[in-house]
Structure 1
Amino acid sequence: MTWFALSLGAAFFMATNSAFMKRFFSDLSAWEMSLIPYFYAMPLMVLAMPFIAIPAIGPRFLPSLAWVLPVLMISIILHYRAIRMSPLSLTLPFLSFTPVFVLFTGGFILDETLSVPGVAGMLLVVVGGYVLNLDAARYGFIGPIRAIWKEPGSGLMLIVAFLFGLTSVGGKVMILDSSPMFAALSVFILYGLLLTLILIWTGRASLKSLTRRPLLGTAAGLIVFAEIICHNLAMSMTAAAYMITIKRTTGIFSVLYGWILFNESGIRFRLLGTVIMTAGAAVIALWG
C-alpha cells in the first residue's frame, strides 16, 4: 500500500503548502505567492532529474506541454489569489470539482464519455458544495448557492478546478508520451524558470522580494517538492483514478488547517460538505 501512503502524502503536502503560504506570505501579491514555492523547489527538481530514467518522448508531448504550461501558470496564480483573500475551508474543498470538469474536458480531448456513476459522483460534488455553505441557509434555500459566489475565493477556486480539469487531461497525454516523473519535473522546472523571468520582467516580482525570507521560502519549496514527488511516484504505482481519489482528501486537510491555524468558523458544515465532495470525486475517479 505504498501508493496509498504516497497519495495521502500528496494530499497532505498540497494542503500544507496552501496553509503555509497563507500563513507566512499573504502580505505578498498572488503573483509572488504563486512563484515562491516553485522558485525554491527548482534547484531540487533540477538535481532530481539525473536520477530518473529519460523515457522515449512521444509526438504529443511537446504540443501538450505548449498549452498545459500557460494554463497551469494561470491556474496556480488564481489558486494563490483565492487562498489569499478567502478562508482555506471555503476555497481548497472546491478543487473536488476538478473530476467533474474532467468528465467534460476528457470527452473533448480524449474522447472519453460520461457514465451513470460519473454523473452520480458529479451530483455528490455539487451537493457537497451546497452543504459547505449550509450556514447561509438562514437566507433561504438558495442562500448557500449565493454564498459560493459572494465569497470571492470560492468562485475563483471553481475556475481553478476547471483549469486543473484541462491541465489534468493534458498532463495525462504528456505522461502517456513520456513518464510521470519526467513529465512533472519538466513542467515545474519550466514553470519556475519562465514565471520568474516573466514576473521580474513585468515588475510584478523582484529578486529582493523572492529572497527576502530564504528560510521560509526554502520550507515552501521543500513542501511543494514533496507534493510533486509523492504525487508522481503514486501515479507510477497505481491507477490514476485510485491516486486522484485519495488526493481529493486535500479538502479535508484544508478545513482542519483553517480551523486549527486560522480559527475559521462554520467548520462543522464545511467539514461535512468537504467529505461529501470528496466522496463524489472518489465515485467519479473510481467508476466514472
Structure 2
Amino acid sequence: MPWLFFATSVAFIQSMKDVYNKTQLKNFDEYIIGCSLTFFTSLFLSPLLFLIDIPQLGNNFWLALSVGSSLNAIAYILYLRAIKISDLSIIAPVTTFSPLFLLVTSPLIVGEFPQPLGIIGVLLIVLGSYLLNLKEKQRGYLAPFRAILTERGSRLALLVAFIWSISANFDKVGVQNSSPIFWGISVFFTISIFLLPIVLYKSHHNLYKLKTGGWKLAVYGMINSVAMGCQMIAINLTFVAYVISVKRTSALFSVLLGTMILKEKGIKERLLGAAIMVSGVFLITISQQL
C-alpha cells in the first residue's frame, strides 16, 4: 500500500520536526521559527503551481484564508511555546484532542455531525489523556486530568488543539473554494505574512542570529514541504480520513523521540496513553467516512 508509506512518512517527519523545534528554540524564539517555517514551506511548495491548473476561486476563499491563516498563526506560536516549556512527549499527545473538539465545532461551522463510532473514539482519547499522567493517580483519581489543566505547557497544547479544531473547518472551506495544493501554498504564505510584523516587533533583537543560523530554518521549511508533499500524494491514493489517522501517529513517534533524543522521562505511561489517543483519533476520522 503506497499510501501507507507516504502517510507514515508524514507522521515521522512531523515528529522529527517537533524535536527540531525543541532544539532550535534554544537559539530562536517561537516567533522567528513560526514565521520562517511557514514562509520557507510556501516557498519550497510554490514550484508546484507550475504543475497544476490554477483553480477558479470560490466566493468563500478569501474569508476562509483570512480566518484560517490568522487562527493557524496563533496556534503555531502557542504550540512552539508549549514544547519550549514542557516535555514533547506530553505536548504531542495532548494535541490529538483536536478531533474531539471537532465533534463540537464541525456541526456548528460546516454542518458535519458525529457518528456513534466517533463517540467511541472520543472516549478513547479521554482514556489516553488520563494515562498520560497516570503517575498522578496517587493524588486522587481525577489527578491525571487535573495535571493536564494545571501544567502550563499542557494547557497551551489543549488550546492549540481547540484552535486547530476550528481552523480545520476553514481549511476544508478553503480547499472547496480552490484546490488542495493551491490552498496549502496560500495558507502557509499568508500565515508568514501575519507573523512577520510580530517578529519585527517582538524579535527584532534576535534577527542578527539569522545571519549564521538562517540556513537551518530554511532546511526546516524544506523538510516541512516534503511532509506536505507526501501528505498530498497519500491523499490522492486513498481516503483523507485514513491519511490523517496515520498522520496522528506522529504523537507516538514524538513520545519515542522525546525519550531517545531529548532524554524525557515517563515513557511507559506516555507511550500507552498516546497509543490509545491515536486509536481514538482513528475511529473518529474513519467514522466521518461512514
- TM-score, structure 1 normalization: 0.93
Q: Which moved more, 1:237-246 or 1:152-161?
A: 237-246
Q: Give CA-to-partner distance per residue, 1:81-104, whole Å, 9 cap, x none.
A: 011110000001112111111111
Report if the CA contact (8 A) 2:114-2:287 is conserved: no
From the superposition, tell whether residues 181 and 211 of structure 1 become closer, same or farther in structure 2 (CA, over 3 Å): farther
The CA deviation at 1:7 is 1.5
Q: 2:105 is matched with which residue?
A: 105
Q: 1:19 is matched with which residue?
A: 19
Asked if residue 43 in structure 1 is aligned to residue 55 in structure 2, the reply is: no
Q: Distance in 2 between matches of 1:176 and 1:4?
A: 25
After TM superposition, list the pairs within 5 Å mapping 1:1-288 onto structure 2. 1-200=1-200, 202-205=201-204, 207-288=207-288
Q: Give CA-to-partner distance per residue, 1:125-157, whole Å, 9 cap, x none.
A: 011000011111122212211211232111111
- TM-score, structure 2 normalization: 0.93
Report if the CA contact (8 A) 2:101-2:162 is conserved: yes
SS of the aligned residue for 1:91 comes to helix
Q: Distance in 1 between matches of 2:209 and 2:194?
A: 17
Q: Which moved more, 1:9-18 or 1:210-219?
A: 210-219
Q: Distance in 1 between matches of 2:39 and 2:186?
A: 14
Number of residue pairs matched by the alignment: 287
From the superposition, tell whether residues 85 and 203 of structure 1 become closer, same or farther in structure 2 (CA, over 3 Å): closer
Q: Give CA-to-partner distance per residue, 1:171-229, whole Å, 9 cap, x none.
A: 011112211111101111222233224421x2434542344303322221122112222
The RMSD of aligned alpha carbons is: 1.7
The residue type paired with residue 203 of structure 2 is: R
Gaps of 5+ in 2: none
Q: Distance in 1 between matches of 2:151 and 2:47?
A: 41
The residue type paired with residue 274 of structure 1 is: A
- Using the aligned pairs only, state the percent identity: 32
From the superposition, tell whether residues 49 and 107 of structure 1 become closer, same or farther in structure 2 (CA, over 3 Å): same
The residue type paired with residue 246 of structure 1 is: V
Report if the CA contact (8 A) 1:31-1:199 is conserved: yes
The residue type paired with residue 204 of structure 1 is: S
Q: Distance in 1 between matches of 2:45 and 2:207?
A: 20
Q: Distance in 2 between matches of 1:113 and 1:189?
A: 31
Q: Distance in 2 between matches of 1:2 and 1:189?
A: 29
From the superposition, tell whether residues 267 and 7 of structure 1 become closer, same or farther in structure 2 (CA, over 3 Å): same
The CA deviation at 1:236 is 3.3
